[in-house]
Amino acid sequence: MEKRPNPVPDSMPLDMLDRLFECAYAVDADRRIVYWNKAAEALTGYPAGTVLGTKCSDNILVHVDKDGRPLCTNNCPLSDSMQSLCRNEATVYLQHAHGHRVLVNIRTVPTVEGDGSVWGLELFEEAGEVADMRSRMADLERLALLDALTGAGNRRLADLAMHSRHSALLRLGSGYSVAMIDLDNLKLMNDEFGHDAGDLALKSSARSMLNTLRASDILSRWGGDEFLLVLEGADLDEAMKAMERMRALVESSSVEVGEGIRIGLTVSAGVTQARPSETADEVVTRADRLLYDAKRAGRNRIAAG
């Protein structure tokens, strides 16, 4: 077991925690991480040696809620648990070592020692809906419908999704909405830091966006730095809310493009609801036009129509 910066309380059963399928970490009274199990390493990409002795807010995990609001300095579930001496449960997004966001269910447990000091234990695992989506995406990969770089669907899947949803709209009246999404300033990133940095930004943004999807939603790489999101059964208001969550989550993320250099990521989007009086191509064209309205208005925003 790796050396820890501070003794871990005897009340914490480390042998048991080491064998858990769930991810686990413990913090001392100053909220410094003193224990980090193998499952946590596997899910987050952070080796224990890089996190022990740090705080969660030191660019490790940096939890945010579903709207992209940071939790480490306010409304932290583990901190609240340590202060109230009550167990806590929440669903939050953590930051992976590669920069993207991962949806997890967490449970926090306070531990009071004999000297009155309070330690905290957090157990977490990938949320079931995301895990189900990963299984579905694995099936799609076997059908060669995934984009190799980003892990989102490819153009073929986008075309299939649009055809399927529009056909259902015309035959059954089943509505759907579409968002055309663009990663902001990718060309500038490529020019300044190289195409490897641009690819990393594309992968990180796509992974964060994929982790916001419902099981029925399909996100595909349309081409270059553009993605097409098809939201089954969503009206324009529901699609806007879903796209805003996605935009905020990407905005809360960053990628390391050089030694000590991290850059933030943002996306712009055009969102529209499909109409029975038009073709699938016309729906996509309108979403694309709205996307450029959003970019002309300053980027990192959504235009709807």
Q: How many Cβ atoms from other residues are within 10 Å of residue 95's Cβ? A: 24
Torsional class of 224: left (φ above 0), alpha (ψ -120 to 50), beta (otherwise): left
The whole-model pTM stands at 0.77
> Under CATH, domain 14-126 is a member of which superfamily?
PAS domain (3.30.450.20)
Q: What is the pLDDT of residues 137-184, one digit of tens each?
A: 666 565 678 898 999 999 989 998 999 999 999 989 999 999 999 999
> Which of the four CATH numbers 1.10.645.10, 3.80.10.10, 2.60.120.580, 3.30.70.270 does domain 130-304 have?
3.30.70.270
Q: What is the pLDDT of residue 142?
A: 59
Any idea where the domains of the chain sit in the sequence? Answer: 14-126, 130-304
Are 215 and 129 in contact by the 8 Å Cβ rule? The answer is: yes
Distance CA 215, CA 49 (A): 36
Chunked mean pLDDT (size 10), the chain, 305 residues: 49 64 88 92 94 88 90 88 92 93 92 84 84 67 78 92 94 95 93 92 95 92 96 96 96 88 94 96 97 96 96
Are 155 and 222 in contact by the 8 Å Cβ rule? The answer is: yes
Q: What is the pLDDT of residue 73?
A: 80
Distance CA 204, CA 211 (A): 11
Active site residues: 225
Query: For the chain, give me the number of helices (H) and strands (E)?
Result: 10, 13
